[in-house]
Homo-oligomer: A and B are copies of this chain.
Amino acid sequence: MYRSHNCGELRLENVHEQITLSGWVQKVRNKGGMIWVDLRDRYGITQLALEDEVSSREAMETAKKLGREYVITATGEVIERLSKTNKIETGAIEIKIDTITVLNEALTPPFTIEDETDGGEELRMKYRYLDIRRSPVRRNLELRNKVSIETRKYLDQQDFLEVETPYLIKSTPEGARDFVVPSRMNQGEFYALPQSPQTFKQLLMVGGIDKYYQIVKCFRDEDLRADRQPEFTQIDCEMSFVSQEDVMQTFEGLATHLFKSVLGVELSAFPRMTYAEAMRLYGSDKPDIRFGMEFVELNNVAQNKGFKVFDDVELVLGINVEDAATYTRKSLDKITDFVRRPQVGANGVVYVKCNEDGTFKSSVDKFFDQEGLKAWADKANAKPGDLLLVLAGDTNKVRSQMNELRLHMGNELGLRNPKVFKPLWVVDFPLLEWDEESERFHAMHHPFTSPKEEDFQLMDSAPGEVRANAYDLCMNGVELGGGSIRIFDKQLQKRMFDLLGFTENEAKEQFGFLMNAFEFGAPPHGGLAFGFDRFCAMLGGQDSIRDFIAFPKNNSGRDVMINSPAPIDNDQLNELNIKLKA
Contacts and interface: CB of A to CB of B under 8 A. Distances in A.
Contacts of A488: 103-104
Contacts of A173: 569
Nearest to A166: B551
A564 interface: yes
B164 A565 contact: no
A175 interface: no
Contacts of A208: 24, 40-42, 132-133, 138
Contact of A103 (B156, B513, B524, B564): B524
Nearest to A555: B185
A565 B189 contact: yes
Interface string A492-533: 000000000000000000001100011111111000000000
A199 B564 CA distance: 14
A567 B190 contact: yes
A167 interface: yes
Contact of A167 (B3, B167, B575): B167
Nearest to A69: B521
A204 B565 contact: no
A241 interface: yes
Q: Which among A165, A182, A489, A574 has the greatest number of chain B C-beta atoms within 10 A?
A: A182
A381 interface: no
B22 A523 contact: yes
B104 A556 contact: no
Interface in A67-109: 69-71, 73, 103-107, 109
Interface string A541-582: 000000001110100111101111111110010111111110
A253 to B, nearest CB: 18
A207 B164 contact: no
Contacts of A252: none
A169 interface: yes
Nearest to A188: B580
A213 to B, nearest CB: 10
Interface string A1-12: 111001000000
Contacts of A551: 165-166, 200, 203
Contacts of A166: 231, 551, 553, 559
A180 B180 contact: no
Contacts of A210: 6, 41-43
Nearest to A207: B132
B550 A164 contact: yes
A24 B181 contact: no
Contact of A168 (B133, B182, B553): B553
Contacts of A115: none
Q: Which among A104, A210, A221, A488 has the greatest number of chain B C-beta atoms within 10 A?
A: A104
Contact of A132 (B128, B209, B550): B209
Given A42-B209, A132-B207, A210-B42, A169 B521 contact: no
B2 A242 contact: yes
Interface stretch (A144-152, A297-305, A341-349, A420-428): A144-152
B566 A207 contact: no
A241 B3 contact: yes
A170 interface: yes
A156 B149 contact: yes
A581 B581 CA distance: 10
20 contacts: A1-B243, A3-B241, A22-B523, A42-B208, A43-B210, A69-B520, A69-B521, A70-B521, A104-B524, A141-B161, A152-B152, A168-B231, A169-B564, A170-B565, A170-B566, A177-B575, A189-B565, A192-B568, A199-B562, A200-B550
